[in-house]
Amino acid sequence: MSVGRVVIVGGGIAGVGTAAALRTGGFDGEVTLVDAGEFPYDRPPLSKDFLTGTRDLKEIALQPPQWYDDQRVRLVNRTAVTALRPRDGAVELADGRLLPADRVVLATGGAAARPPIPGADSDRVHVLRTADDADRLRLALSPGAHILVVGAGLIGAEVASTAVRLGCQVDLVDPVAVPLAPVLGPDLAAWLHGLHAKNHVTTLHASVESFTERSNGIEARLTSSTGPRLYDAVVLGVGMVPCVDLARTAGLDVDRGILVDAGQMTSNPAVLAVGDPARVRDEHRAEHWEAAQQDGARAAATLLGAAPPEPSASWFWTDRHARHIEAVGHMDTASDTVLRGSFDGPSCAVFGLRDGLVVAAASVDDPAAVRAARRLIDRRIPADAARLADPSVKPRDLLRG
Amino acid sequence: MSSTGIRVAALDDIPEGEGIAIDKAITGTADNIALLRDTDDSVYALDDTCTHETASLADGWVEDGFVECPLHSSKFCLKSGEVQGLPATRNACPHRVEVRDGEVWLFPGEAP
Ligand SMILES: Cc1cc2nc3c(=O)[nH]c(=O)nc-3n(C[C@H](O)[C@H](O)[C@H](O)COP(=O)(O)OP(=O)(O)OC[C@H]3O[C@@H](n4cnc5c(N)ncnc54)[C@H](O)[C@@H]3O)c2cc1C
Ligand code: FES
């Protein structure tokens, strides 16, 4: 059947990516993008250039303003969708209006997790998911401020690195001794975690038990230390909670995410889900930028009845202490690893191997190694460990065997 | 517009599937220019700085008519500079290139 009107709920990379892929794929019907914010903007800069204040909101817009006219994408901004009405062929907006929709794409993203630590509701305790969060946090990151970052995964490590660059005194606490080890491999993860100390971030191996507001700051009680520590502000970087309320209320299958098939379709064929909140059964949610964009491309293909884009190993980047890190594939499935270059050299990469194939790679300032690995994984090109380890063999040539 | 080309490199200076950056002091353009050699012997030229942030496209992955940015992987058409997908939204500016007798001639500011 032909689809005339698509309503996309949420203007993150997944929602905007869906709209863009629909038009690129030749979709001729109506595309409406509803977003709660002023206009769709990109999220990765929120912990990087946007947090330092180097780039403003307009500079991190996902699309320039005229793109919406050019592509005939109707942007309904500053508006929340409050309910799905698949049976009425519509979605309901906060002001009670109904938007007609033959198909709905849920691209609602997620919210920053706020674990139930006593005292975590203080104004001095920040999270980072939206531009407003970043604006508020920037004010707290003044030179000399004592900042506690909770969680040394991707966002926590980025915030710690940005805060120290802004002149703050930063403690970074995590109960995991080597964060990101399953993703990057234990050696690279340990080295990267150690990079914090070399850049004047104090890493603490502990959990937070409680926060207490004081007249001159906020006290954090950690499991490891004897006395409480006083901070000007705290940032929680402990993960995200997918926005699944609309899906759940509409009776869709939800289990640690909105369950979708390989074409992003939910348990209701009129509703698709993409990006951070979507989960294919038996897989983990990806929670990375490119994965969200590719969900959008797959959803558009489903709506168009077109062939889905070629699948590719999952990939992400992150930046800390002026180093660019990339990772591809699933390092936790590797039985062997190969190091290319050395950790203390200008760049390095780790390849994860299994059964003679590359299954993962991670790099520091060597993106070409990861781009090569991605193609080795996707094309199932047999791995030659000696060549992978040899920095004189160019990444490009690794594909030539 | 007729302009004189600049001999900027030998074809062999650019490995297949890679790029080199030519300094703006040589090209006389606002930005450095990336010379990008596809997986065949064809060479293309685009403004070197990615239109998204600050990556050098000369460090990108060149394959099948496109260059992939080394930072966040936006792809640009080697021939036209047209951006293929986010996060970049603007096209890269292309320049004319000629390869003659193994020498690469660049015509900065001239459309291919
Ligand atoms: C600080 C930070 C840094 C990051 N850095 C990186 C990085 O370096 N590399 C990387 O690969 N990934 C990074 N990520 C992850 C990446 O940004 C996310 O995976 C990506 O944003 C997910 O996109 P999305 O479209 O699924 O969701 P989101 O970006 O969360 O977008 C969802 C949108 O939906 C809107 N919305 C939700 N509910 C409704 C509703 N009911 N009605 C209307 N609108 C609604 C929200 O307002 C929001 O605009 C980072 C994330 C954060 C927070
Ligand atoms: S700098 Fe090129 S895609 Fe971001």
Pocket residues: Cβ below 6 A from ligand 1: A 9-15, 34-37, 43-44, 46-47, 80-81, 107-110, 128-129, 155, 243, 246, 275-276, 287-290, 292, 316-318
- Kindly state whether residue A223 falls inside one of the protein's structural domains: yes
Whether residue A48 has pLDDT greater than 90: yes
Tell me whether residue A71 is in a domain: yes
Which value, in Å, is the radius of gyration of the alpha carbons in chain A?
A: 22
Same domain, A206 and A143: yes
Give me ligand 1 centre to Cα A319, in Å: 17
> Is the ipTM of this structure higher than 0.85?
yes
Q: Are strands A271-273 and A233-236 parallel, antiparallel or unpaired?
A: unpaired
Does the predicted model carry a pTM greater than 0.95?
yes
Query: pLDDT value at position A232?
Result: 98
pLDDT of the residue at A118: 97
pLDDT score for A226: 74
How high is the pLDDT of residue A1?
45
- Residues A151, A204 within the same domain: yes
CATH number of the domain where residue A331 is located: 3.30.390.30
Query: How far is A210 from A190, CA to CA, in rounded Å?
Result: 27
Closest alpha carbon within chain B to A395: B61
Strands (E), A71-228: 73-76, 81-85, 90-93, 98-100, 103-106, 110-112, 125-126, 146-150, 169-174, 201-205, 208-214, 217-222
Asked whether residue B71 is assigned to any structural domain, the reply reads: yes
- A103 lies in the same domain as A244: yes
In the prediction, which pLDDT does B1 show?
44
Domain CATH number, residue A204: 3.50.50.60
d(CA B77, CA B83): 7
For chain B, the domain total comes to 1
Residues A245, A230 within the same domain: no
What SS3 state is found at B75? strand
Query: B99 alpha carbon to ligand 2 midpoint, in Å?
Result: 28
User: Do residues A63 and A162 share a domain?
Assistant: no
B80 part of a folded domain: yes
Mean pLDDT of A387-396: 95
Residues 6+ apart with CB under 8 A from A377: A313, A328, A329, A357, A358, A359, A360
**A230 and A180 housed in the same domain:** yes
How many A from CA of B67 to the centre of ligand 1?
26
Residue B75 lies in a domain: yes
**pLDDT for the residue numbered B2:** 47
Q: Do residue A220 and residue A251 come from a single domain?
A: no
Cis, peptide link before residue B87, omega less than 30° from 0: yes
Alpha-carbon gap: A367 to the closest alpha carbon of chain B (Å): 6
CA separation for the pair A276, A291 (Å, rounded): 8
Q: What is the pLDDT of residue A256?
A: 95
CA–CA gap between residue B111 and residue A279 (Å, rounded): 46
Confidence class for position A92, pLDDT limits 50, 70, 90: very high
Together in a domain, A13 and A65: yes
Distance CA(A394)–CA(A341), nearest Å, equals 12
For residues A172 and A94, membership in a common domain is answered with no
Higher pLDDT, A168 or B39: A168
Determine the Cα–Cα distance for residues A126 and A160; give it in Å rounded to an integer.
13
Domain containing B51 equals: 6-107
Residue A118 lies in a domain: no
Pocket of ligand 2 from Cβ distances under 6 Å:
B 50, 52-53, 55, 69, 71-72, 74, 87-88
CATH code, domain carrying B73: 2.102.10.10
Return the closest-CA partner of residue A130 out of A256, A9, A45, A58: A45
Q: Exposure pattern of A92-120 as b/e (b: 16+ CB <10 Å)?
A: bbeeeeebebbbbbbbbbbebeeeebebb
Length of chain A: 401
pLDDT at residue A2 in the model: 63
Q: Which residues of chain B have pLDDT under 50?
A: 1-2
Cα A173–Cα A179–Cα A185 angle in degrees, nearest 5: 160
**In the prediction, which pLDDT does A3 show?**
79
Helix, coil or strand: residue A311: coil
**Residue A220: pLDDT above 90?**
yes
Note the pLDDT tens digit of each residue in A249-292: 999 999 999 999 999 999 999 999 999 999 998 888 889 999 99
Please indicate, yes or no, if residue B47 is contained in any of the structural domains.
yes
In a domain, A311, yes or no: no
Q: Within a 10 A sphere around the Cβ of B7, how many other Cβ atoms?
A: 11
The pLDDT value given to residue B80: 98
User: What is each CA distance from A333 to A5, A269, A351, A364, in whole angstroms?
Assistant: 42, 33, 12, 20
Return the closest-CA partner of residue B29 out of B93, B100, B75, B76.
B93
The pLDDT tens digits for A105-121 are: 999 999 999 999 999 99
Domain residues for the domain of A391 are 322-399
For residue A394, the chain B residues in CB contact (below 8 A) are 15, 18
The token pair that represents A250 in the structure block: 């509409």
Q: Is A56 among the domain residues?
A: yes
> For residue B21, is it within any domain?
yes
pLDDT tens sequence across A289-344:
999 999 999 999 999 999 999 999 999 999 999 999 999 999 999 999 999 999 99
Rounded-to-integer distance, Cα A92 and Cα A40, Å:
20
H helices of A207-288, in order, are 245-249
Torsion of CA A257, A262, A265, A267, to 10 degrees: -60
Q: Do A293 and B85 touch (CB under 8 A)?
A: yes
Residues in chain B: 112
Residue B1 lies in a domain: no
Whether the CB-CB separation of A401 and A384 falls below 8 Å is answered with yes
Q: How many domains does chain A have?
A: 3
Q: What angle in degrees, to the nearest 10, is found between the helix axes of A186-198 and A154-165?
A: 20
Claim to verify: residue A227 and residue A255 sit in the same structural domain:
no
Q: Average model confidence (pLDDT) for chain A?
A: 96
B58 found inside a domain? yes
Q: What angle do CA A284, A6, A283 make, to 5 degrees?
A: 10
